[in-house]
Amino acid sequence: MIIELGHHALVLAFLVALLQGTVPLVGAARRDLALMELGRSAALVQLLALAGAFAALTHAYVTSDFSVLNVAENSHSMKPMLYKVTGVWGNHEGSMLLWVLVLAAFGLAVALRGHGLPAVLKARVLAIQGLLGAGFLGFILLTSNPFLRLDPVPADGRDLNPLLQDPGLAFHPPMLYLGYVGFSVAFSFSVAALIEGRVDPAWARWVRPWTLAAWSALTAGIALGSWWAYYELGWGGWWYWDPVENASFMPWLAGTALLHSAIVVEKRDALKSWTILLAIIAFGFSLMGTFLVRSGVLTSVHAFAVDPDRGLYILVLLAVTIGGALALFAFRAPAMAQGSLFRPISREGGLVANNLLLATATATVCVGTLYPLFLDAATGEKVSVGPPFFHATFVPVMLPAVLLAGIGPMLAWKRADLEGVFTRLRFAALVAGAVALLTWLLQHGHHPGPVIGLALAAWLAASTLIEWTGRVGLFRRRGIVARIIGLPRSAHGMTLAHLGLAVFICGAVGDSFWRREVVVDATPGAVAELAGYRVVLEDIRSGNGPNYEAEVVRLRVERDGEAIGELRPERRFYPVQGTRTTEAAIRSRPLGDLYAAVGEGRTPEHRTLRLWHAPLVPWIWAGALMMVTGGLVSLSDRRLRVGAPRRTPGPVTQPAGGD
Amino acid sequence: MARVVFLLPLVLFAVVAGYFAVPLLTGRDPGELPSALIDRPVPDMALPPLFEGAPGLASDDLRGGVTLVNFFASWCLPCRAEHPVLTRLAKSETLHGISYKDDPARTRAWLAELGDPFERIGTDTSGRTAIEWGVYGVPETYIIDRDGRIRYRHAGPVTRAVLEDEILPLLRSLREAAS
Amino acid sequence: MRFLAIVAFLLLAPLAAAPVHAVQPDEIFADSGLEQRAREIFRGVRCLVCQNQSIDDSDAALAQDLRTLIRERLVAGESDEQIHRFLVARYGEFVLLDPPFRPGTWLLWASPVLALLAGIAIAWAALRRRRSPVEPAALSDDERARLAALAASDEEGQ
């Protein structure tokens, strides 16, 4: 019964989304306020209907209703409650339902928050959100209905892949979707602006908070997924340049560029058509990610079992939305290309360079990811584009971007005094030089990678701090607190995010160049030594979980002859799916992780013990967390809150200020 | 000129979308790998026999006539699935087998159960010969022409459709070319 | 971020995700320099059975065989390039995660440079177009004063 209600709610949401997607557009064209207002109520009804549908599916999972095909295929009565709930989005159909739910939530948020928004613009934005919703709801209803019944009803379900039964994954997909779908708002604003044929600084001020929210969520989502891969898959890697990873990275790169270019629109009324294009591209990559994951055109040998109808439907959806938006762009953008005067050496010049580099990086990842597909379709040749390609291309493009991120925030708008900036940055250059020298001297083997990487990170951190201390006047005597509070939150947010990038780079460098590994065949009592640690295999025990059998290997960690901790890597067997997993054990300290995983050994008594010392890995997550926090702090800036009056400038803001 | 620049994103997108459509519309499996050894001579090998006293399989055995070579193993489920098709094929064609990373006793038992369609059987216990052939999974089936060159590779079980649509026509054309 | 990949797998065919323990203890070289070279090569060779992994990460039997084979060739004194040639001759260029530079991949390797140059060209053209209608007209004193006032208010507004 509840399932049927859920299905009906889904159909209702589809119909309402169609209304939301059409009526306000007509209203906007006719300047009919009543028709335009329909978008708001439709957005509310759509969200309520989808929340109902989602609740119905969740109810089926929680009560283990195996008469529902989707539940029977992806759940099990013995599964812990947390994973019964997160299992709702651990499969294709459920994750699509979550996707449209998030989309509808963003739609309603626009409807509720956009008080200062002109009625026509708002009506159009809501209508485009409605059309997107209708497209995806149609997809779910036609190809991926989660409410299909199963007859006869099986005694129990097939369970969720044990690898996905993990707390880290509970929040990864929702975060990722908040990011992907969040870019839909910027997309809708762009298409609405194109229909209107007008973009002004106010438009950028309305778009920026949504972009910031989406960007923060996407950053968190990617970081969570990366963290999960690191501790759960037992390979100790955190980024593989896998097509599916790249699919989430491309919208992130485009979204990062968009965040920066929107500032130029807001402050200088320039880069308008470029910013609109970036918004379309960021959302386009989000959709492309969905397509790539679900169509099977790029994944692996196991991909052919994918339903080609689904791939085709998403491709058509992609062609209509993104193709349509780009056609509109080609048609309307030339008319509004006029911007204000522009000098290369200025804040806006720096942001243009930032965008050039980020766009190049996005293009590089995109071409690298899709090239095997192109070459295969064009000539039938098969090539692989793996991590070595991305290391050789993406990294060199990002190096100058990081260098620039240190300089850019110090440049004044319109015309900057480059000499003055360099004077202020002398100290940062000194720090970077010292770090480079120290790294060169201290590391084993003179590899240039860590030297360049850490020096750049130091440069970015130092110059960001110099800029921030300059603005809050840390070295002036009185009123520091007032000045810190007085500074726009977006300035603090930028500082935090750029520092986060510097911290992240340290982590990436440490792990990529200094990781040490020991692999031994061990029985109880065996000893392995690594990076100053002595690891003793104490015993092997069995311990069972709610829906798995486990073998726990206890390792004693010693340093300088003293026991300092214990690691308990596990091997698990999940009988329902007949799947084995390894649960790595990690001892995480600020300077690095000690990582242990066990595998089958040469004899029944032996275990293959794999130990890594991964320097600075926690910095990767810390850096990501700082970026997310920076985004959120910036989001809380009063000026970005839609409808809030522009704050009168505080006395402490420096002329070179802004964000 | 300016307008062309604004058209660029749309054009690039259309190209990408077009390439996405190709594998979806043609139903081609993007995971399928062509062999790197097509039109190359068979790799040098001299494999020991499976049955004592029977001949093994060497490169020279694959010259002088159109032959087929099948990599198989008793532990491989798809091999069991394709076995009836191979048995039928072996009635009219010369089919050699290479047992891949398998215990000879088990292979013998497996063949005793299902029937032995192979003319000669070589054992590749180390899997080295398979690497020479570029095998990435069992079963794989190769067609070798009179000059001992590899002309075709099918990865995965030979189904009736593959046999009718690909293998038999190629065998016919190879024979016609020779006569 | 493997999450979606795994979800993708799940949707396709129930794939038993085996516990992963790639390089085995008994295969490691005592000579750490040679071991490092071996691992470097492994990281650049695709595991053909699992497709999106290198043979350094993979525990598939074929990956194990390829590692052993590469180790033997290293011990025999072959160069990295000879080993790559050996693998490509049998498995095609698909086996290399680092795509070689040849006509089919020129576009791939040139793409970052092309993208950057195209971006610079477009940015430069846009800047020039924007400047030309503005600069030739000299400002009157009145306009200058208004501009200065505007600039001042804009500065304050930040």
Question: Is the peptide bond between A152 and the residue preceding it cis, with omega within 30 degrees of 0?
Answer: yes
Which residue from C minimizes the CA distance to B33? C94
Using an 8 Å CB-CB cutoff, list residues of chain A that contact chain B.
Answer: 273, 277, 280-281, 284, 291, 295-298, 300-304, 308, 311-312, 315, 318-319, 322-323, 326-327, 329-330, 333-334, 337, 370, 373-374, 376-377, 380, 382
CA distance C75 to chain A (A): 20
Tell me what the mean pLDDT of segment B153-158 comes to: 90
Task: Using CB atoms, list chains with 3+ pairs below 8 Å to chain B.
Answer: A, C
Asked whether the beta carbons of C80 and C88 are under 8 A apart, the reply is no
B178 or B151, higher pLDDT: B151
A605: pLDDT confidence band, cut at 50, 70 and 90? confident
Neighbours of B21 (CB within 10 A): 17
Residue A224 makes CB contacts below 8 A (sequence gap 6+) with: A168, A169, A171, A172, A175, A176
For chain C positions 12-41, those within 8 Å of chain B (CB to CB) are none
Q: So what's the pLDDT on residue C149?
A: 65
Chain B partners of A329 at a C-beta cutoff of 8 Å?
6, 9-10
Q: At C5, is the pLDDT very low, low, confident or very high (cuts 50, 70, 90)? A: very low
Q: What is the pLDDT of residue B26?
A: 77
Least trusted range by pLDDT, from A124-138, A181-195, B129-143: B129-143
Q: State the pLDDT confidence band at A585, using cuts at 50, 70 and 90.
A: very high
pLDDT band, residue A382 (cuts 50/70/90): confident
B37 contact residues in A (CB cutoff 8 A): none
Residue contact A299–C50, C-beta within 8 A: no
pLDDT classification of C48: cutoffs 50, 70, 90: confident
A155-169, B12-26, B72-86, B147-161: lowest mean pLDDT where?
A155-169
* Residue from A395, A394, A513 nearest A446 by CA: A513
* pLDDT recorded at residue C139: 57
Contact C10 A161 (CB under 8 A): yes
Q: Give the pLDDT of residue A645.
A: 40
Q: Which of A121-125, A244-248, A648-652, B110-114 is least confident?
A: A648-652
Tell me the pLDDT tens digit for each residue of B29-48. Answer: 666 778 889 999 999 999 99
Tokens, residue C140: 């009157």
Average pLDDT of the residues in A579-590: 88
Asked which of A289-298, A312-321, B3-12, C42-51 is least confident by mean pLDDT, the reply is: A289-298
**CA-based max dimension of chain A:** 82
Does C87 contact chain A (CB < 8 Å)?
A: no
Q: Which residues contact A397 (CB under 8 A, 6 or more apart)?
A: A357, A360, A361, A364, C112, C116
Mean pLDDT, range A157-167, rounded to an integer: 78
Q: How far is CA A647 from the centre of its chain?
A: 31
Checking if the pLDDT of A659 tops 50, the result is no
* The pLDDT of residue B107 is above 90: yes
Looking at residue A26, what is its pLDDT?
94
Share of chain A above pLDDT 70, in %: 93
For residue C13, the model assigns a pLDDT of 28
d(CA B110, CA B121): 13
CATH numbers and ranges of domains, chain C:
2-100 (1.10.8.640), 104-156 (no CATH)
How high does pLDDT run on average in chain B? 90
Report chain A residues whose CB lies below 8 A from the CB of C4.
Answer: 225, 244, 247-248, 289, 293
Average pLDDT in the C103-121 region?
A: 93
Task: Give chains near C: 3+ CB pairs under 8 A.
Answer: A, B
Residue B101: give the domain boundaries. 35-178
Put simply, the answer to whether A386 touches C18 (Cβ < 8 Å) is no
pLDDT at residue C136, as a whole number: 43
Contact B136 C51 (CB under 8 A): no
Would you state the pLDDT for residue A301? 31
Query: Residue B3: is its pLDDT beyond 80?
Result: no
Which residues in C lie closer than 8 A to residue B131 (C-beta atoms)? 62, 65-66, 69, 90
Closest CA to A468 of A488, A453, A449, A454: A488
Instruction: Tell me the C-alpha distance between A447 and C36, whole Å.
Output: 14
Query: How much is the pLDDT for A356?
Result: 96
- The larger pLDDT score, comparing residue A445 to residue A224, is at A224
Q: What is the pLDDT of residue A486?
A: 82
Residue B111 has pLDDT above 50, yes or no: yes
With tokens 């044929």, the residue in question is A197
User: Is the separation of the CB atoms in B70 and B97 below 8 Å?
Assistant: yes
Domain boundaries in chain A? Answer: 1-160, 161-337+369-374, 516-618
**Residue A306 pLDDT class (50, 70, 90 cuts):** low
Instruction: Count how many domains chain B has.
Output: 1
User: Is any Cβ of chain B less than 8 angstroms from the Cβ of C51?
Assistant: yes
Sheet of A585-589, strands arranged across: A516-522, A607-615, A592-600, A585-589
For residues A216-236, one letter each, b for 16 or more C-beta atoms within 10 angstroms of the residue's C-beta and e for the rest, the string is: bbbbbbbbbbbbbbbbbbbbb
Q: Is C101 on the interface with B (CB under 8 A)?
A: no
Q: Lowest mean pLDDT of A151-160, A534-543, C17-26, name the range.
A: C17-26
Mind listing the pLDDT tens digit for each residue in A405-432? Answer: 999 999 988 888 888 898 999 999 999 9
pLDDT reading at A500 higher than 60: yes
CB contacts, 8 Å: C23 with chain A: 519
Mean pLDDT of chain C: 75
Higher pLDDT, A550 or A343: A550
pLDDT for position C62: 86
Using the beta-carbon criterion (under 8 Å), do B34 and C92 form an inter-chain contact? yes
A285, A361 contact by CB (below 8 A): no
- For residues C9-33, average pLDDT: 55
**CB contact (8 A) between residue C90 and residue B131:** yes
pLDDT, chain A, mean: 88
How many A×B Cβ pairs under 8 Å?
71
- The verdict on domain A161-337+369-374 having CATH code 1.20.120 is yes
pLDDT band at A639 (very low <50, low <70, confident <90, very high): low
- Total length of chain A: 659
Burial of A619 (0-12, 13-18, 19+ CB in 10 A): buried
Looking at residue B130, its pLDDT comes to 93
